[in-house]
C-alpha cells in the first residue's frame, strides 16, 4: 500500500523536479506511474550477465522455492516493453515476474540495449534478447531449469521481441540476426504486444517500428521487416497466446485480432483474449485477473 501512496505523492511533487519537456512523457497519469513503482517484494536469486558489450546485457533469474520437479523448473523469459526505447527499463514488470515465479516457474527477466542506448535498435536489440535467451543453456548448468519447457512472454513492445524469439529459427543464414541452433521455445505469450510491425505502422502510425528495424524511409523497409517483423517469420510451430485489454488503444486491439488470424492461416495454434475492462498496464498487474489467464496459458504450453 505504501508504494501506491508514494506514487500519488510523486505525481504531485516530482514534476517540479524534472525538466519541463520530460514531465508530460514520464508522468502520463497516476495509473502508469503507480504501475512503474510496484517494486518486487524479494530480490532475484541472481543478476547475471549474458554478454559483455554493454552494462545493459543482463538478466534477473528467479527460481521457485522448494524441491524442483524432475528435469527442473519450466522457464519463462520475460521481455519488457517501453517502445524499444531507453526511456523504459525492466523495473516496472518486476512484480509481475515475481508473481510468475511464485506460481512455480523459473523466470529470466531480461534487460537489453534499446534505442537511445549505444548499440541499441537494429541489430543490437534483437541480438541481445537472442543471446540472453540462449544463455539459459549456461545457467542450466548451475540452476534447476527445464530447457525443454521455455516460454517467452513480452509486454507491449516486448511482445514483438518475445514473438521474434519464437520465429528467429526461420531467419535466413544471410541475416545479421541469424544464429545457429537458437534455444527452442514451448510457447509464447504477448500482453498488449506490438505483434505485427507493419500493421502497427499502417494503422497505429507507430513510426518507431521503422527505427527499430534500422530504417528511416518506409519505402525501403520491406526487406528489413522480413527479418524483424514476427508476422513475417511464421509459422513458429508452437502455440501462441495473445492478450490485449479492451481499453487499450483501438489500433492495438485491431492489430492483435488481425495478427491472430494471420497466425491461424499459417497453421499455428493461437488463443486470443480481449478482457474488456483491462488497459495497457492491467495486463501486467499482479492484482488483475489477467495474471491467472497468463498462468493458464503457460501451464498449457509447458504441459505439451
Query: Residue 38's pLDDT is what?
Result: 66
Query: Residue 37's pLDDT is what?
Result: 55
pLDDT tens for the chain, 304 residues long, are 334 334 433 333 333 333 333 323 333 343 555 544 568 889 999 999 999 999 999 999 999 999 999 999 999 999 999 999 999 999 999 999 999 999 999 999 999 999 999 999 999 999 999 999 999 999 999 999 999 999 999 999 999 999 999 999 999 999 999 999 999 999 999 999 999 999 999 999 899 999 999 998 888 999 999 999 999 999 999 999 999 999 999 999 999 999 999 999 999 999 999 999 999 999 999 999 999 999 999 999 999 8
Dist CA 238 CA 253 (whole Å): 22
Estimate the crossing angle of helix 124-134 against helix 157-167, to 10 degrees.
Answer: 60
Domain at 42-302: CATH code:
3.40.50.1820
Q: Which triple of cell numbers denotes residue 160?
A: 514483438
- Please report the beta strands in 232-290, taking only residues with DSSP state E, as ranges in sequence order: 240-243, 270-273
Asked if 85 and 121 count as a contact pair (C-beta separation under 8 A), the reply is no
Paired sense of beta strands 240-243 and 187-191, if any: parallel
pTM, whole model, 2 decimals? 0.88
Asked if 86 and 163 count as a contact pair (C-beta separation under 8 A), the reply is no
Dist CA 149 CA 91 (whole Å): 25
The CA distances from residue 50 to 57, 73, 148, 150, 155, in Å, are: 6, 20, 20, 17, 21
Query: Residue 34's pLDDT is what?
Result: 55
Domain regions of the chain by residue span: 1-37, 42-302
Query: Residue 108's pLDDT is what?
Result: 98
Amino acid at each position: 500500500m505504501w508504494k501506491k501512496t508514494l506514487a500519488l505523492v510523486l505525481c504531485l511533487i516530482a514534476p517540479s523536479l524534472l525538466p519541463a519537456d520530460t514531465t508530460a512523457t514520464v508522468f502520463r497519469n497516476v495509473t502508469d506511474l503507480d504501475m512503474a513503482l510496484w517494486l518486487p517484494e524479494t530480490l532475484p536469486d541472481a543478476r547475471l550477465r549474458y554478454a559483455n558489450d554493454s552494462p545493459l546485457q543482463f538478466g534477473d533469474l528467479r527460481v521457485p522455492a522448494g524441491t524442483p520437479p524432475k528435469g527442473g523448473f519450466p522457464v519463462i523469459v520475460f521481455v519488457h516493453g517501453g517502445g524499444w526505447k531507453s526511456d523504459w527499463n525492466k523495473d516496472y514488470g518486476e512484480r509481475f515476474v515475481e508473481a510468475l515465479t511464485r506460481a512455480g516457474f523459473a523466470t529470466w527477466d531480461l534487460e537489453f540495449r534499446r534505442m537511445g542506448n549505444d548499440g541499441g535498435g537494429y541489430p543490437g536489440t534483437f541480438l541481445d534478447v537472442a543471446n540472453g535467451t540462449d544463455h539459459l543453456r549456461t545457467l542450466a548448468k548451475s540452476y534447476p531449469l527445464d530447457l525443454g519447457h521455455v516460454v517467452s512472454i513480452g509486454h507491449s513492445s516486448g511482445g514483438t521481441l518475445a514473438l521474434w524469439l519464437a520465429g528467429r529459427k526461420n531467419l535466413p543464414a544471410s541475416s545479421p540476426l541469424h544464429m545457429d541452433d537458437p534455444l527452442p521455445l514451448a510457447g509464447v505469450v504477448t500482453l498488449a504486444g506490438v505483434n505485427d510491425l507493419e500493421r502497427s505502422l499502417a494503422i497505429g502510425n507507430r513510426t518507431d517500428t521503422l527505427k527499430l528495424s534500422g530504417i528511416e524511409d518506409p519505402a525501403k523497409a520491406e526487406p528489413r521487416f522480413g527479418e524483424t517483423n514476427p508476422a513475417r517469420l511464421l509459422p513458429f510451430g508452437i502455440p501462441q497466446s495473445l492478450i490485449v485489454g479492451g481499453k487499450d488503444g483501438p489500433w492495438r486491439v485491431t492489430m492483435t485480432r488481425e495478427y491472430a488470424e494471420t497466425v491461424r492461416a499459417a497453421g499455428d495454434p493461437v488463443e486470443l483474449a480481449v478482457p474488456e475492462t483491462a488497459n495497457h498496464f492491467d495486463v501486467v498487474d499482479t492484482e488483475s485477473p489477467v495474471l491467472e489467464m497468463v498462468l493458464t496459458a503457460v501451464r498449457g504450453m509447458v504441459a505439451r
